[in-house]
Amino acid sequence: MVVDTAGVDRALGAIGTTFRLTRLYPPTHPAVAEALRQIGEALSALAALGTVEWKVGATGLHWHGQHLLPRNSQIAELAGLLYGRGIRAVTLNPGMTSEHVLSLFAVATGTIPPDDATLGRITLALGRRTSQRLERLRTTTPAPQRTASPPSRPAVSPASTLDSPMKSATKRVRGCS
């Protein structure tokens, strides 16, 4: 089933441009402010679709089996950073704002954790291994200490292991001369 992605493509284009600009300029720069305004306008097309879930791959975003904006390097970079942080899906709910998108950029760059409250109407799904790893990091109880000692090896003197190869090598050299 082919889905019309014109509104989604327009929103993603604005998100990609803003992502690149926020990495180059401070948030007060006029270009960043204009890009955020464009995101705000484009989000109405996403809100009309209801809840939208994009799968995050190492090379881009996917929706209903389609690779979204496959030639957009900014979206590919954003998706690659999210993928590298263990994010496997981004769920966009109606009512999200451009500030929530800025928080998504902060997750991609590692500034805030994937479950931060500033994401607002954006939900991030972690890969199974990553979520297990995060749960292990969050536990406050210390790991149990091992009480059993490692199995002991038979004692071997270093002199006996070095003597035998040296003696055979010495015999070979003496026998040749």
Q: What is the pLDDT of residues 12-29, one digit of tens each?
A: 999 999 999 999 999 899
Q: Are strands 87-92 and 122-126 parallel, antiparallel or unpaired?
A: antiparallel
146 in any annotated domain: no
Kindly report whether the global pTM for this prediction surpasses the value 0.85. no
Domain membership of residue 14 as a residue range: 6-134
Convert the pLDDT of each residue in 38-84 to its tens digit: 999 999 888 888 999 999 999 999 998 888 888 899 999 999 999 99
59 in any annotated domain: yes
What's the one-letter identity of residue 133?
R
Residues 6+ apart with CB under 8 A from 115: 124
- Which of 48, 66, 49 is closest to 57 using CA atoms? 66
164 in any annotated domain: no
Higher pLDDT, 149 or 28: 28
Number of domains in the chain: 1
176 in any annotated domain: no
91 in any annotated domain: yes
Res 3: pLDDT: 57
34 in any annotated domain: yes
Query: What's the average model confidence in pLDDT over 102-112?
Result: 94
Give kind and range of the element (H or E) at residue 53: strand 52-56
User: What does the CA dihedral 106, 110, 116, 117 come to, rounded to 10 degrees?
Assistant: -10
* Residue 131 token pair: 């979520």
60 in any annotated domain: yes
15 in any annotated domain: yes
Ramachandran region of residue 109, left (φ > 0), alpha (ψ -120 to 50) or beta? alpha
- Which of 122, 119, 12 is closest to 73 using CA atoms? 12
